[in-house]
Amino acid sequence: MAKILLVEDNEMNRDMLSRRLIRQGFEVVMAIDGQQGVDMASVEKPDLILMDMSLPVINGWEATEKVKANPETKHIPVIALTAHAMAEDREKCIAAGCDDFDTKPVELPRLLEKIKALLARAD
């Protein structure tokens, strides 16, 4: 089953989303800041990354840029997760190299569709 790297600093969000993704049958690994996310991307080689944008150490845009700059990880699709209020930052997300984005709070069916679409494309 596909492995998803969830980069999220908020413990509650991490807990909820990981449990629901696991229930959907995904393998989930987690990072709690941007730098850790970049590191885990190259160590764990996940099939997809869910990246929060407002992260400590380095933020989500920067982390995404690093993931996409690394030849080992650049193929991994990244879905940016932004708060509704930040919707206007989506252009920034795309510019940073994100493959798709979704707003928080997460609507699972919608997010799942995006995840499945990107995974299918990667295959």
Partner 1 sequence: MKHFETGSEMGRENTLLRATLENMAQGVAMYDAEHRLVTWNERFVEYLDMPVEFLGTDKTFSDYIRYLGSRGEFGPGADIEVELKKRLALLDKSHTFERLRPDGTVLEVRRDPVPDGGFIAIYTDITARKEAERRLREDEERFRATDAASPVGLIIVSRDDGSIQHLNPSFVEIIGRDSSELLGKPAVSLFADLEQSAALAAILSGESGRRTEFRFDRNGESCCVMISLADLEFHGNRSVVASFVDITDRVRAEEELKKAKEAAESASRVKSAFLANMSHELRTPLNAIIGYSEILVEDAEDRGDDASIADLGKIQSAGKHLLGLINDILDLSKIEAGRMDVYLEQVFLSKLVSDVKTIVDPMMGKNDNRFVIECPEGIGSLRTDQTKLKQNLINLLSNAAKFTKGGEVRLALSRCDDENGTKRIRFDVADTGIGMSDEQIGKLFQSFTQADSSTTRNFGGTGLGLTITRHFCTMLGGTVEVTSVPGKGSTFTMILPDQVAKSVAHAPAEPRVTRRIDGKAGMRILVVDDDPAVHEVLSATLSREGHEILHAYDGDEALKAMRAEPPDIVTLDVMMPKVDGWSLLGIMKSEPVLQGIPVIMLTIVDDRNLGFSLGASEFMTKPIDRARLLGLIKQFSHANSVVLVVDDDADVREIVRQAITSEGLVAAEAENGRRALEWLDQNETPTLILLDLMMPEMDGFEFLDRLRCRDDTADVPVVVLTAKDLTETERAFLAERTILVLSKSAQPAGSLGHAIAALAERGAKSETST
CA 116 – CA 95 distance, rounded (Å): 22
Structure tokens at 33: 């800041």
**Binding partner 1 by CB under 8 A: which of 66, 104, 111, 115?**
104
By CB under 8 A, tell whether 84 contacts partner 1. Answer: yes
**Binding partner 1 by CB under 8 A: which of 4, 6, 17, 51?**
17
CA 104 – CA 23 distance, rounded (Å): 19
With respect to partner 1, which residue has the nearer C-beta, 16 or 58?
A: 16
Nearest to 102 by CA among 42, 56, 62, 48: 48
Q: In sequence order, which ranges of 4-100 are alpha helices (DSSP H)?
A: 11-23, 34-44, 60-69, 90-96
Q: Which stretch binds partner 1 (CB under 8 A): 37-45, 55-63, 101-109, 114-122?
A: 101-109
Q: Which stretch binds partner 1 (CB under 8 A): 8-16, 30-38, 41-49, 74-82?
A: 8-16
CA 113 – CA 92 distance, rounded (Å): 22
By CB under 8 A, tell whether 10 contacts partner 1. Answer: yes
By CB under 8 A, tell whether 75 contacts partner 1. Answer: no
With respect to partner 1, which residue has the nearer C-beta, 38 or 101?
A: 101
